[in-house]
């Protein structure tokens, strides 16, 4: 009989519906399998009986993969289980960056007590006028579970979509709208697109991939979105791109002191996958993967 433990509260659904041996606790010392969301595990000591870790989410950069490999601990993740939540956030981010909805709402709050508020609204209409996304060129770097969903949703909104992915899977290609332009050189995304969104994992090769060189190749007034992983963008380079007028708006799901508070940045506190639906999907998938491995010896990572 195995003990499954959950390191931080993950889902509203009762995971103990799946196994009576499931416990949500901070003390995972004697667990056979640990379920974790984004808690950083690099400094944790693992007991000798730990057999697997399931990350309820896509990114595994909070898991000490080398240590797990040395100890033979199997690591699962749930790519795709929260992709719809992130996709919807990316679409919202594009719209927020194109239309100054946040500025307008703040303006209304600031003027809430003004009896003339209805009259001065005329001024606000000019001040907060924006652009439509229909017909704009959207560049997607990384066509995995999230990138493909963003591509398909953007096509439905009338955007002209370009995608780059050197590792495009047959499954992703199959699920992607056929009128997405698949480019084989990322520079085409930089030079052609009005809005660029990144959906790649954090690897040595992708760290800081959006830096001074990439930004120099982008169109003036580009909108840049990073709802994937924090250090994919070199924030100092992004800031100088904003200050030079090259980048019109930067939307990130990773607060840090460089961009938080800047007028041309929309900084979200990592809410991309924070929907009840995504959290439940990830948690259920992660528990099923662990149980399938521990109880039946099968490895399924989907
Ligand atoms: C993920 O890796 O799936 C995302 O970071 C979502 C999250 O866990 O908050």
- Asked casually if ipTM beats, i.e. exceeds, 0.90, the reply is yes
Q: Which CATH number fits the domain 83-267, given the four candidates 3.40.50.620, 3.40.50.720, 2.60.40.10, 3.40.190.10? A: 3.40.50.720
Residue ranges lining ligand 1, Cβ < 6 Å: 37-38, 57-59, 82, 270, 273
The rounded Å distance from CA 245 to ligand 1 centre is 31
Per-residue pLDDT tens over the stretch 131-162:
999 999 999 999 999 999 999 999 999 999 99
Go through 207-221 and write b for each residue having 16 or more CB atoms within 10 A of its CB, e for each that does not: eebbbeebbeebbee
Q: Where are the domains of the chain?
A: 4-78+276-296, 83-267
pLDDT tier for residue 301 given thresholds of 50, 70 and 90: confident
Is 10 a residue whose pLDDT tops 90? no
- On the question of a common fold for 4-78+276-296 and 83-267, the answer reads yes
Do 85 and 277 form a contact (C-beta atoms < 8 A)? yes
Q: Measured at the alpha carbon of residue 82, what is the angle toward residues 92 and 4, in degrees to the nearest 5?
A: 150
Ligand 1 atom 9, closest CA: 273
Own/partner pairs, 152-156, CB within 8 angstroms, 24+ separation: 152/176, 152/177, 153/87, 153/88, 153/91, 154/91, 154/94, 155/179, 155/180
pTM of the model: 0.91
Phi–psi pair at 281, nearest 5 degrees: -55, -45
Length of the chain, in residues = 302
Q: Which CATH class is domain 4-78+276-296?
A: alpha beta
pLDDT in tens, 203-244: 999 999 999 999 999 999 999 999 999 999 999 999 999 999
Q: Is the dihedral of CA 90, 148, 141, 187 positive or negative?
A: negative
- Contact by Cβ (8 Å): 229, 205: no
């Amino acid at each position: 009989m195995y003990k499954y433990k959950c390191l931080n509260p993950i889902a509203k659904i009762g995971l103990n519906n799946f196994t009576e041996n499931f416990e949500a606790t901070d003390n995972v010392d004697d667990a056979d399998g640990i379920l974790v969301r984004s808690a950083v595990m690099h400094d944790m000591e693992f007991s000798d009986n730990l057999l697997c870790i399931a990350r309820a989410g896509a990114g595994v950069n909070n898991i000490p993969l080398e240590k797990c490999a040395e100890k033979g601990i199997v690591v699962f993740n749930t790519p795709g289980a929260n992709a719809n939540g992130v996709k919807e956030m990316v679409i919202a981010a594009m719209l927020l960056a194109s239309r100054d909805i946040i500025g307008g709402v703040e303006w209304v709050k600031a003027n809430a007590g003004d009896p003339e508020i209805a009259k001065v609204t005329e001024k606000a209409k000019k001040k907060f006028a924006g652009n439509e996304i229909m017909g704009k060129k959207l560049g997607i770097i990384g066509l995995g579970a999230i990138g493909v969903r963003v591509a398909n949703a953007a096509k439905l909104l009338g955007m002209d979509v370009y995608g780059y992915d050197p590792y495009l899977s047959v499954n992703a290609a199959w699920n992607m709208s056929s009128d997405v332009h698949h480019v084989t050189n990322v520079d085409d995304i930089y030079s052609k697109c009005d809005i660029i969104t990144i959906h790649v994992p954090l690897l040595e090769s992708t760290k800081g991939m959006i830096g001074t060189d990439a930004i120099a190749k982008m169109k003036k007034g580009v909108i840049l979105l990073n709802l994937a992983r924090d250090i994919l963008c070199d924030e100092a380079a992004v800031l100088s791109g904003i200050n030079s007028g090259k980048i019109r708006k930067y939307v990130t799901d990773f607060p840090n002191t460089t961009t938080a508070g800047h007028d041309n940045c929309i900084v979200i506190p990592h809410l991309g996958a924070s929907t009840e639906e995504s959290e439940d999907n990830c948690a259920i998938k992660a528990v099923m993967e662990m149980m399938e491995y521990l109880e039946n010896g099968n490895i399924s990572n989907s």
